[in-house]
Amino acid sequence: MAKTQEHLIGLLLGAEGDWPRAFETLAGRLGVLTGPDGANHRVTTERVSIEPFNLRDKPRHDLVIDRLAYWYYHPREWLKKVALMDDVYLLNSPFTFQSMEKHSAYCALLRLGMHVPDTVLVPYKNPVDNVRWAYTSERYNKPFDLEEIAEQLGYPLFMKPFDGGGWRGVSQVKNAQDLRSAYDDSGEMLMHLQASVADFEVFARALTIGPETMVMKFQPDEPMHNRYAVEHGFLSEGVGTEAVTIAQTVNAFFRWEFNSCEMLVKDGVVYPIDYANACPDVAVTSLHYYFPWAMKALLKWSVFCVATGRKARTQVDTDPWFRVADDEGLDYGGKLAAYQGLADSHFDTDRYREFCDAALPHIDEMVLEWVDSDDFRDLLTETIRATYPQHEWDKFEGHFGGLTRMWVSDETSRLGRGRSAVDETVVSGPAPAVVAD
């Protein structure tokens, strides 16, 4: 019998406990897989520790899922080393972090012809801490009229850091007075002013892992546990497909593997506003109903990458994208179709599907069985207890327990198993969510 190839997946983690445990449990249950070529594979996981490393050290990992390096330089440099020297596959690669700054992402999508709201980058409010600044500023800083820029964009507008995330430093500016105080408060943060997409109909948030995208209805004004609405069919088919293409285009263009993309939809137009997240939220207490999907996608994509020896590419190759972008013979729809083709080819989507069919035929059942087990319920309870104060434990047990049971019920029907009377309402209810798989 062919020898089983062993693959180690490293998890580089910050404070998260829930999804890593889910991922480790599911990876542990996979057992030996047989790929389409007949080769056998087994994946194991290990949490990566932070320690001195010699640049000549050989890592044991084939792939690392990183949730830390955006903030900490030591693990970031280790990731760069293992990518450059040892071909370790990274979700995500620090070489993309520059483009993780909103600004580059806005620029790229604008050139690709997407409907990014009108955006202006203004100089720092406060001088940067550099002895040469006074000279430079006196010589080259051109005075500008902030209010005039704002009036051209129109109120209300958004002021937000060029490299932001997690709503840090974001404010809605309704008038000239708000504008002044928001700019004064920005201090040493470099700010964009961006026209609002006012009265949008839908806030769509697409989580993409490899070639898998789930577009979810997002409710930004709700508390965290309620932001993802479990609502299916909330986008027309055309808009749903466009949202998937935009999300996958962003990732394939920048060589991101694991990212979330926020889009506002108004009058049938999709406006991407935020799509550079080095570390997208996948907590069970945010994603609830969608958490099993996220874990499954992360597992499938990681296993595909290690078992097929997928080569990571550290640098962005803008040429094929800009050839489409600059093609005057193509309208927006034609460009979207071409971008989807480039994204499919970047992610090797056909080969990925073929691999999943051959090597992971039972993954849906396996994940369903786990989410319907005491092990998952314990994970949920422990996460709730670690996340919320005691007086809210029961409320959240009910909330998240109900939503994950609803997923179990929907998934049971989807997989064609027997349904109970309780399932009926769910089964006959919503159409499938927009899922690219």
Interface residue with ligand ADP, options 93, 194, 387, 409 (CB under 6 A)? 194
Q: How far is the CB of 243 from Mg ion (least distance, A)?
A: 15
- The span from the CA of 66 to the CA of 59, in Å, is 15
Question: Do β-strands 202-209 and 212-218 pair in parallel, antiparallel, or remain unpaired?
Answer: antiparallel
Residue 164 found at the interface with ligand ADP (CB under 6 A): yes
59: cis peptide before it, omega within 30°?
A: no
- The span from the CA of 182 to the CA of 160, in Å, is 9
Residue 274 found at the interface with Mg ion (CB under 5 A): yes
With respect to ligand ADP, which residue has the nearer C-beta, 170 or 312?
170
Q: How far is the CB of 180 from ligand ADP (least distance, A)?
A: 20
x/- string (CB under 6 A) for ligand ADP, residues 84-123?
---------------------------------x------
Question: Do β-strands 40-47 and 269-274 pair in parallel, antiparallel, or remain unpaired?
Answer: unpaired
Write the DSSP assignment of 348-378 as a string of letters: THHHHHHHHHHH-TTHHHHHHHHHTSHHHHH
Residues 6+ apart with CB under 8 A from 278: 69, 70, 92, 96, 97, 100, 165, 259
Q: How far is the CB of 247 from ligand ADP (least distance, A)?
A: 14
Q: How far is the CB of 83 from Mg ion (least distance, A)?
A: 27
CB 212 within 8 A of CB 437: yes
With respect to ligand ADP, which residue has the nearer C-beta, 100 or 299?
100
Q: Of the listed pieces 38-46, 52-60, 261-269, 311-319, which binds Mg ion according to CB under 5 A? A: 261-269
Interface residue with ligand ADP, options 220, 333, 398, 430 (CB under 6 A)? 220
> Helix, strand, or coil here: 211?
coil
Residue 262 found at the interface with ligand ADP (CB under 6 A): yes
Return the closest-CA partner of residue 92 out of 301, 349, 304, 324.
Answer: 301
With respect to ligand ADP, which residue has the nearer C-beta, 114 or 295?
114
Q: How far is the CB of 220 from ligand ADP (least distance, A)?
A: 4
Q: Which does 269 bind (CB under 5 to 8 A by kind): Mg ion, ligand ADP, none?
A: none
Which residues contribute to the site for Mg ion (CB under 5 A)?
A: 262, 274
